[in-house]
Amino acid sequence: MRILSILSIVLIILSGCSGSQKDDRPAIAVSFEPQAWMLRQIVGDDFDIVTLLPAGSDPETYQPSISTMKSLGKADIYFTLGTDGFEKSNLSGIVSNFPDLKVVDCTEGVQKITGTHGHHDHDGHNHNGEEFDPHILASIKNSIIIADNLSRYLAKNYPDKADAYLRAGNSLKARFKWKDDSISKMNLDGTAFAIRHPSLSYFARDYNLKQISMQDNGKETTPLRLAMQMKEIKDSGAKVFVNEIEHDSPSYKETASEVGLNVVDVKLNGPAWEEFIMKLAQRMKMANEINRN
C-alpha cells in the first residue's frame, strides 16, 4: 500500500529525532480499542499496546497516523480479527514494512456470521462464498473466546509470566460471562431493534434478537425505501433504534424518533463497549416491560 511505503520512509527520518521520552517496554499491536482494553486487563503495564484504529474512528475512512506506524515498528506481535475492510487494506503494507512482526488472528473458535450486510441479518448462519461480518467485537460471547485466545497465546510465548496472564485471562472471562448471563436472564428472545448499519449481528445472534438495518448493502437508503423500512420496523414491534456514535446520523435519529423509537447511543469501538452492550440490553428490557403493561 503506497501510504505505508511513504510512512516507512518518514519513520526512518523520525527514528533519528530526539526530544521525546523513550518507552523501553516491548510492544503489542492490535486493530481496535476493545482488543487493546482486553490486553491491558491481561498484561497490565508489561507492554506498550499500539492501537491502529483509535476509539471513535470510522474504519472505512481512517488511515493509521505516522506516530502509530512508528510505534508499530517496535511491536513483536499484531493481534488481528482477520477481517476484510480496515485490516485487509492495511495488512499487506504492514507486513512488507515490518517483516519480523508476527500477525496473529485472535478469533480462533469464533463462529463467523456471513450474509449480514444487506437489509437484514437473515438467519445469522454461515453462507459459503460470502464475506463474514467484521463486527466480531460487538459480542460479549465472542469476547470470552478472544480473551481466552489472547491469554493462552501470551502465556505460551512469555512463559515467565504465564501464570499471571492465565489468571488475568480467567478473571476477564469471568467478567464477560457474568454480563452474558445477565443479558440472557433478561428474556429478550425475539425482540426486534432498528439500526442504521448492521453492526450488531453477533449481538442479535447471541440472544435471538431481530436486527433491522436501515441501509441497503452498506448504501444509504432512498426516501421511498426508508418509508417501507419504517413500516417494517413498526410491524416488527421494535421499540429501540441503536445509534452508533462512530456513525452518528441526526437524520436517522430524527426519523426513528418520529416513529416512536427510543434512541440508544452506543460506542462499539471503545474501551467501554461491553458497558454499551449492557446498556442496550437493559433499554430493550425496559421497552418490552413498558409495552407489556
CATH assignment at residue 32: 3.40.50.1980
| Neighbour-count burial of 24, counting CB atoms closer than 10 A to its CB (0-12 exposed, 13-18 middle, 19+ buried) | exposed
Q: Are residues 56 and 154 in the same domain?
A: yes
- Confidence grade of residue 10 (pLDDT, cut at 50, 70, 90): very low
pTM strictly above 0.85: no
Residues 171 and 34 in one domain: yes
Residue 226 sits in the same domain as residue 260? yes
**pLDDT > 70 fraction of the chain, expressed in percent and rounded:** 82
Range of the domain at 224: 187-292
Rounded Cα distance between 198 and 97, Å, is 34
Looking at 182, 206, 239, which one is the last position of a domain? 182
Kindly report, residue by residue over 261-277, the tens digit of the pLDDT.
Answer: 899 999 998 888 999 99
In the chain, the number of structural domains is: 2
pLDDT in tens, 126-178: 444 457 898 999 999 999 999 999 999 999 999 999 999 999 999 999 999 99
What's the average model confidence in pLDDT over 242-264? Answer: 83
